[in-house]
Structure 1
């Protein structure tokens, strides 16, 4: 693994990334590349890099797992902004960097995203035609989630509160940084926060299971207005032409990955190859790192990516050694 700072000429700040390389990597050769996108509130050292990124590198891909702008080790100020437009632009900027690497085949670039990262991956693929295939792992349409559960189904009230807070901050007031999860699973239980996705997110992000310094699970409240007017799937029927695989768990939670996965699969009618992988007995956060559901997901997505990113039989055999 190589850690890099991506600083393209049009960027005011850097993007921190880890490049995961295949076994028997030979820098004189060309490899297909995967851009791996972390969830909302996460970082590159969690599921996008340490689970799916690692597995895909072992299968012969160059994988770039990166921190979103304003988050993790990436630059940008103020911190902990979750801006879907910026998140999608980050994908293109990472691809801009990937195509400068002499060992990346610029015609064979795919993206994979987990949770909110899945929604961003799909949205980026609508207009970023350097992407040749996309995989969404328990992907969430963050815009819908903000309009619904994250705003207590009062998006206009949330927008009014954000506007008032941004005015306070513009006048010198303290930033309002919202912690998205309970401090521990025990705190979640004590406060009745046992809904499946909320509790399982806490178990992942707030325990040694998945906890990482960069995975702050925080959001700057005053800068989240545009999220409520964003839709990951807008124009999918027309613009989502590349091959797409949607992986979901059938144990439904409040963050809506099951519903969102069914929706985008149904709407991706222009895709050259659309596939839905619906896993029984597994939940949203099971697909982050639990060996059995992750293995089931990889069993489907690895051949899908190898097919569409032309990872030939010879290179597959080398990667498997």
Structure 2
């Protein structure tokens, strides 16, 4: 594994990434390459590299797991911005970097994303045809989630609050950075925050199980407006021409990965090969790092990528 920082000619800041190499890697050879996209509120050191990046590298792929702009060790100010359009553009910029590497086969690039990263990789594939196949692990359409649960089903009120806060900040006031999760699983329990996805997210992000310095689980409230008008799956019926796989757990939670996985599968009618993998008895956050469901997912993902990157 190698850590890199790069800046394309149209970028104003660096992107930080981890490149994971397959066994027996030879820089003189060319390899199929996977761009791995981390979840909302995550970073490259978590599930995108430590779980799926590692497994895919062991299966023979070069994997590039990176930090989104404004997050982790990547550049961009102010910090903690979650901008779906920027997140999708980041994927193209990572591909721009990948195709300059002598060991990356530019005709064999695919993408994988987890949670919100799954929504982003699907959205990117609609227009980024250098992606030859895409996989979403418990993929979440972040726009849908913001319009619903994250805004308490009142997106207009959320937008009005964001507008007021942005004016305060433009006039020199303090920025509002929202912490998205309870501090610990114990705090979650004490405050009745025991809904499956909320509690399991806390168990992953706020304990040694998955906690990393770059995984801030924070969001700059005033700059989240564009998320509420965004749809990860817009025009999928006509533009999703690549092979697509959605992997979901059948234990359903409030963040909606099961629902969104079914939706992208159903809407990708122009895809050359669409697959829906349902894993019984597993939840959204089980698929982040639990050995058994991850192994079951990889049994489907590796043949899928091998088929379409051969």
| TM-score category of the 2 structures, normalised to the smaller one | over 0.9
In structure 1, the partner of 2:259 is: 259
Q: Alpha-carbon deviations, 1:241-272, whole Å to 9, x = none?
A: 00001000000000000010111100000000
In structure 1, the partner of 2:167 is: 167
SS in 2 for 1:81: coil
With the length of structure 1 as denominator, give the TM-score of the two structures: 0.96
Q: Matches of 2:309 and 2:83 in 1, distance apart?
A: 29
In structure 2, the partner of 1:17 is: 17
In structure 2, the partner of 1:98 is: 98
Q: CA deviation at 1:297?
A: 0.2
5 Å-filtered alignment, 1:59-78, equals: 59-78=59-78
Q: Alpha-carbon deviations, 1:208-265, whole Å to 9, x = none?
A: 0000000000000000000000000000000000000100000000000001011110
In structure 1, the partner of 2:192 is: 192
With the length of structure 2 as denominator, give the TM-score of the two structures: 1.00
Q: Matches of 1:69 and 1:33 in 2, distance apart?
A: 21
5 Å-filtered alignment, 1:118-267, equals: 118-267=118-267
Q: Matches of 2:97 and 2:106 in 1, distance apart?
A: 10
Q: Matches of 1:32 and 1:242 in 2, distance apart?
A: 16
- Structure 1 ranges of 4+ moved more than 3 A: none
In structure 1, the partner of 2:274 is: 274
Q: Matches of 2:123 and 2:24 in 1, distance apart?
A: 33
Q: Alpha-carbon deviations, 1:174-217, whole Å to 9, x = none?
A: 00000000000000000000000000000000000000000000
SS in 2 for 1:167: helix
Q: Alpha-carbon deviations, 1:61-95, whole Å to 9, x = none?
A: 00000000000000000000000000000000000
Q: CA deviation at 1:6?
A: 1.5
Q: Matches of 1:29 and 1:295 in 2, distance apart?
A: 28
5 Å-filtered alignment, 1:107-122, equals: 107-122=107-122
Q: Is it true that 1:28 corresponds to 2:34 in the alignment? A: no
In structure 2, the partner of 1:319 is: none
SS in 1 for 2:245: strand
In structure 1, the partner of 2:88 is: 88
Unmatched 5+ stretches in structure 1: 311-321
